[in-house]
Structures are given as C-alpha cells and as structure tokens.
Amino acid sequence: MSVSLARGIFDAFFASIKSLTKRRYTLRYPEQKLDLPDGYTYDPKTQVGSPGVKGRHILYLDKCTGCSLCAIACEGIADCIDMVKVDGTWPKDKKAIMPQIDYGRCVFCGFCVDACPFDCLFMTPEYELASTDKRKLVQTPFQLGTLPEKKGLVEFIPDEKSGAHHA
Amino acid sequence: MEVVERQGDYLTMSVGPQHPGSGHMRLIVTVDGDIIVKVKPDPGYVHRGAEKMCEVRTYIQNIPHLERPVIIDSCGILFAYVLAAEELIGVQPPPRAQYIRIIMAELNRIISHMYWLSIYGIFMGHSTMFMWPMGDRELFIDLAASIGGTRVTFSYFIPGGVRNDIPPGFKEKALKTFDYFVKRLKEYEKIYFNNPLVLKRTQGVGVFKREDAISLGVTGPNLRASGVASDTRKDEPYSMYDTIDFDIPTYREGDSYSRAWVRLEEMRESMKIIRQAIDKMEAGPVKQPMRGQIKGKVGEAFARTEAARGTMFYHIVSDGGKFPYRVKISVPSFRNLIAMSHLLEGNRLADMPVIYWGLDYWPVEADR
C-alpha cells in the first residue's frame, strides 16, 4: 500500500516537473496577435458558406440595395440590425437605407450573411470590438464599409510533440 | 452559505444559488454535524423559456438561441433539433454533411469533457488539473473554430446539412492535435487519475448502484459509470454512427472515480470516431439547397441523440406554419439532477463538490 502511494505521488510530481521544460503555447496578447483566416462568406447560388471566422461584418456599400432581408433574418435572433438612412446617392439603393449593426446585441451567428442575396454583407476576422461606451458599439453603414487592417501576425501551428507552437 | 433553520441536532442551510461551478442553482442541505441528512435541489434560477421562444421563431431563427443553454456543447444540443426539424421540413442532409456533423459533435464532446475535467480538478483543489485541460481545450476549440467560425456557439448545423464545408488542411491539423493529445492523456492519468490524493477523495464517494441508476432514469456517462452499456449512438444509431466502429467505455463501480474515468475514455473514443469520419468522408455537397420560406408539414417529429451529458431528446409539433407549434426539449442534466439528492445523502459535506460536479450537472441546460 505505502509503496504504491509513494509511487503514485512520485509519478504525479514527475509529470508536473516534466512540463516545466515544455514550451508554452499561450500568446503575449496584445503584443502578439493571431493571424486569423479570412472571414465567413456565403454564396447565395449554391447556398453554402465558406469556412471562415465570424467577426465584425463588412458591408459593400455600392452593392447594397436596401432590401432589409438581413434585418428580417436578425429579427428573431438578436434584433441588432436597423435599416438607417445614409447620405449620398446610391444607384442601386434608391431609398438610401443600409444596415446599422449593434454589436452590443449581435451573437455572431452569421444568418444575416446567409440572408443577403446580393453578395454585399460578409464577415471579417476582426474581433476586438469592445468599447467603454455602449453607444460606440453601434456601427454605422460607413463604419461597416471599411475593411479591417491586418493586426495579427503570429501563426498558430498544431504540433504532435508539444501541442502547438507559434511562427 | 446561509442558515435556513435549526431543528434539534439538525442544521438546514442553503448552498448557492451563486454559481456552484457552472450556473446558478441552490441546494438546500440538512446536516447532522458533518453528515448530509437531506438534500433538496432548487433549480430554476437560469430559466430562460427556450421552449416558449421556439414558438415565435422560424426553424432557422431557433438555432442560435437553442444552443445557448449549453454553450460548451452547442453541437450536442442542436443535433437532435436539426434531426427532428429535418423530418418535419422534409429535407435529407447529404452524406458528407452527416460526417461533418459527427466530427463537430465529437469535437464538442471533447471540449465539454475537458471543461468538466478542469473544473473537477479545481473543485478538489488540484490547480494543475485546472490549467492543463483548459490549455489543451484551446487546441480543440481551435479545430472546431476553423470549421464553425466562432469559438463556442457555432450555429453550424441547420436543417438540410451544415452551413459550410471543412477548411482545407483540417485533416492534418486534427491528426497532429490528436497525436499530441493521446500522449497528453497519459500525463493526465499520472498527475490526476492515478494520484493517491485524488483516489482518496473520489473512490467510493457517491456510489451509484446499477439498479438505482436504471430506476432513477439517469443517462449518459453517469449511467455508463454504473455498469450499464447504454449509449444512444449505439442503441439507436442516428446520422452515420452505424458506419463507425467505436466502443462504449463502461465501469462497474459507480463512484465519482469511475465517472471521471468514463469521461476520460470517452475523449479517446471521440478521437477514434473523428479519425474514422475524416477517412470515410467523400467529396460532395454539404447542404441540400432550400428555396423560399421554410415550413414544416403538419405532424410531429422526435429525435434522440447522445450529447456530452447524456441523452438529448427533442419533440417538435408543427401545425404547418413557419414556426414550430411546440418544441419540447428533454435534457440530460435535468435527469441527472434526480441522482444528486440520492447520492449526496449520507455523505460528508466536504464531499459535496466532488459528487455535485462528478455528475456533470449543468444548471442552464436543466432550466433551459
């Protein structure tokens, strides 16, 4: 009994001491950031999406027709899309209304992307959307129309020896 | 802890309702010294009315809110819903979509069991066992996120298939992670499962006899730890599980220790299932296209699947409209709640965290 007890404790200690020599696979956020793949997109013809990160949306202002299908899709989910009036003249959008997204409510399910038949609402890998003011979480169509700048550079590579490493 | 009443030698107090590990729930415990005499679970603090919400939302709009009760096993709770909804809508998922569903459901099972294991470690004061599974869980979250797009709530299964194909290079990434994790599980065994201190805390604690487990209607890993080889994936194969070869880990003791082992072995089996599913998958469509408003035909449908915590059952009644008429969710956590008061009585108060979390009770899922 006491031999197995000593052996069990020794094994447990040895396993933890061995892990001291291992490289850690956490990142030094925010100095280091992950290089994420592209955002989620959807092809209305085949009705299949692309495997991508569901982050902040991107709205192609010149393609939007103001049909408000994205807002209807969101109604029962998060109710975070509002159609708002935008300045300027838009040849495709006579009423000049475009979606405005409240990121305080969005659940990032991407069903609004699936609802858009004009290839104009997609998602980007931008995930740093936190704000100290809840009014800043509401993004106007012009804010949604900008592509995010590439922030992350570190790549996450799975490794059969040490779990993962970064490059 | 708050004293509710004092009666002779007995002391009745309330444990919770502030988050005893996973969500808000309360246990009204009567103790005689250190021994628990009576336990009355008091669930319902996180009831959100998910079933009622289903009645005013379309079949697609129901998906994001239905996975909220168990976000760490979001594909497990959705699997039965999409199977039942498909029967009503009248769509058949292509074979490739069914294999991708299996991959996602098993990845979610691993993610959920890893979360469980880390909290089980910290409940016993074993901080290393909190850090290691939480760190390794990220590898599996990374795999699942490369398919689903988000970290936990993927909204990935929809009636008619899955929303997108798996990314190129997923197989190599997954196999590398599994090769690492199989070796890692041996280290888990050394530091935790064969650790004499853990054996002392869990062996013979909260023993659940085979007959009691069957008569109380407990499901999932808790039932399998009591010696009943019952698994919905084997008993009533759904999706493509009948083409896949895997074992059901079963233990006879029925104590907290064997409940931990069942979950550890299940992670190994899940990796075996995913390896086979990746190999068996053939190129093809991942979704059957649907045009126009999705409506269910008049009638009812039910589906039973094996989620991480046990048998997940959905019963959907449709009146032919775009909303389901009634959705009944029968969740495994609520069934396992019955076992809690049965197991805690007669044990020491210090063993309560081990028994409570050993059952893998998830209050939000039970209250739904």
Q: Please report residues of A whose CB lies closer than 8 A to that of B63.
A: 109, 111
Beta bridge pairs of residue A101: A81, A139
Q: Please report residues of A whose CB lies closer than 8 A to that of B144.
A: none
Model confidence pLDDT, tens digit, residues A142-164: 888 888 877 777 777 777 777 77
> Smallest Cα–Cα separation from B202: which of B340, B357, B22, B342?
B357
pLDDT in the model for residue B21: 65
Model confidence pLDDT, tens digit, residues B257-273: 898 899 999 999 999 99
- pLDDT > 70: what percent of chain A? 99
Tokens standing for residue B333: 């956590």
Domain locations in chain A as residue ranges? 36-151
Helix, coil or strand: residue A142: helix
Does residue B233 have a pLDDT over 70? yes
User: Do the Cβ atoms of B153 and A109 come within 8 Å?
Assistant: yes
Instruction: Find, in chain B, the residue whose alpha carbon is nearest to that of A107.
Output: B64
- Flag whether residue A122 sits within 8 Å of chain B, measured between CB atoms: no
- Flag whether residue A72 sits within 8 Å of chain B, measured between CB atoms: no
What type of residue sits at position B135? G
Helix, coil or strand: residue B275: helix
Class of CATH domain B2-367: mainly alpha
Angstroms from A31 CA to nearest CA on chain B: 20
Tokens standing for residue B9: 């030698």
At residue A1 the predicted structure's pLDDT band, cuts being 50, 70 and 90, is low
- Flag whether residue A34 sits within 8 Å of chain B, measured between CB atoms: no
User: Do the Cβ atoms of B139 and A111 come within 8 Å?
Assistant: no
Q: Report the greatest alpha carbon distance in chain A.
A: 84
User: Do the Cβ atoms of A110 and B149 come within 8 Å?
Assistant: yes
pLDDT in the model for residue B315: 92
Beta strands A42-43 and A48-49, pairing class:
antiparallel
**Mean pLDDT to the nearest integer, B130-157:** 88
Q: Around Cβ B89, how many Cβ atoms within 10 Å?
A: 19
- pLDDT > 70: what percent of chain B? 98
Does residue B118 have a pLDDT over 60? yes
Beta strands A57-59 and A138-139, pairing class:
unpaired
- Flag whether residue A117 sits within 8 Å of chain B, measured between CB atoms: no
User: Do the Cβ atoms of B142 and A50 come within 8 Å?
Assistant: no
Instruction: Find, in chain A, the residue whose alpha carbon is nearest to that of B286.
Output: A48
Does residue B237 have a pLDDT over 60? yes
Query: Would you state the CATH architecture of domain A36-151?
Result: 2-Layer Sandwich (3.30)
Query: Does residue B226 contact residue B209 with C-beta atoms inside 8 Å?
Result: yes
Instruction: Find, in chain B, the residue whose alpha carbon is nearest to that of A9.
Output: B195
At residue B3 the predicted structure's pLDDT band, cuts being 50, 70 and 90, is low
pLDDT in the model for residue B37: 87
- Flag whether residue A107 sits within 8 Å of chain B, measured between CB atoms: yes
Does residue B2 have a pLDDT over 80? no
User: Do the Cβ atoms of A108 and B150 come within 8 Å?
Assistant: yes
Q: Please report residues of A whose CB lies closer than 8 A to that of B191.
A: 11-12, 15-16
Angstroms from B246 CA to nearest CA on chain A: 23
Model confidence pLDDT, tens digit, residues B271-311: 999 999 889 888 888 888 888 788 888 889 999 999 888 89
* Strand ranges, E, within chain A: 42-43, 48-49, 57-59, 81-85, 97-102, 121-123, 138-139, 156-159, 163-166
Q: What is the pTM of this model?
A: 0.90
Domain locations in chain B as residue ranges? 2-367
Tokens standing for residue B227: 């010696």
Tallying the residues shown for chain A, one arrives at 167
Name which of A155, A160, A161 to mutate to probe chain B: the one with the most chain B Cβ atoms within 10 A of its Cβ: A160
Model confidence pLDDT, tens digit, residues B313-363: 999 999 888 888 989 998 888 888 888 888 888 888 888 888 888 888 888
**Mean pLDDT to the nearest integer, B227-255:** 87
Q: Please report residues of B whose CB lies closer than 8 A to that of A110.
A: 149, 155, 163
pLDDT in the model for residue A7: 84
> Smallest Cα–Cα separation from B115: which of B224, B251, B225, B267?
B267
Q: Around Cβ A15, how many Cβ atoms within 10 Å?
A: 20
User: Do the Cβ atoms of B289 and A49 come within 8 Å?
Assistant: no
- Return the residue matching tokens 């490739």: B96
Does residue B4 have a pLDDT over 70? no
- Residues of chain B by 3-state class (helix, strand, coil), percent to 5: 50, 15, 35
User: Do the Cβ atoms of B149 and A123 come within 8 Å?
Assistant: yes
User: Do the Cβ atoms of B155 and A114 come within 8 Å?
Assistant: no
Model confidence pLDDT, tens digit, residues A99-145: 889 988 888 888 889 888 888 888 988 888 888 988 888 888 888 88
User: Do the Cβ atoms of A12 and B192 come within 8 Å?
Assistant: yes
Does residue A70 have a pLDDT over 80? yes
pLDDT in the model for residue B113: 92
pLDDT in the model for residue B5: 64
Helix, coil or strand: residue A151: coil
Tallying the residues shown for chain B, one arrives at 368
Beta strands B310-318 and B326-330, pairing class:
antiparallel
Cα–Cα dist B365/A141, whole Å: 37
Name which of B129, B143, B150, B287 to mutate to probe chain A: the one with the most chain A Cβ atoms within 10 A of its Cβ: B150
- The mean predicted confidence, pLDDT, of chain A is 84
Query: Does residue B295 contact residue B89 with C-beta atoms inside 8 Å?
Result: yes
Nearest to B164 among A12, A48, A108 (CB): A48
The CA–CA distances, whole Å, from A109 to B123, B279, B353 equal: 33, 29, 35
Query: What is the number of CB-based contacts under 8 A between chain A and chain B?
Result: 118
User: Do the Cβ atoms of B139 and A109 come within 8 Å?
Assistant: no
Q: Please report residues of B whose CB lies closer than 8 A to that of A166.
A: none
Nearest to A12 among B165, B180, B195 (CB): B195
Q: Please report residues of A whose CB lies closer than 8 A to that of B285.
A: 48
**Mean pLDDT to the nearest integer, B62-90:** 89
- Flag whether residue A75 sits within 8 Å of chain B, measured between CB atoms: yes
**Residue A154 DSSP label:** B
Nearest to B191 among A16, A52, A76 (CB): A16
Burial of A125 (0-12, 13-18, 19+ CB in 10 A): buried
Please name the residues in contact with B232: beta carbons below 8 A apart, sequence gap of 6 or more.
B238, B304, B305, B306, B311
User: Do the Cβ atoms of A76 and B150 come within 8 Å?
Assistant: no
pLDDT in the model for residue B6: 65
Cα–Cα dist A102/A8, whole Å: 54
End-to-end alpha carbon distance in chain B: 25
- Flag whether residue A8 sits within 8 Å of chain B, measured between CB atoms: yes
Query: Does residue B128 contact residue B119 with C-beta atoms inside 8 Å?
Result: no
Angstroms from B187 CA to nearest CA on chain A: 6
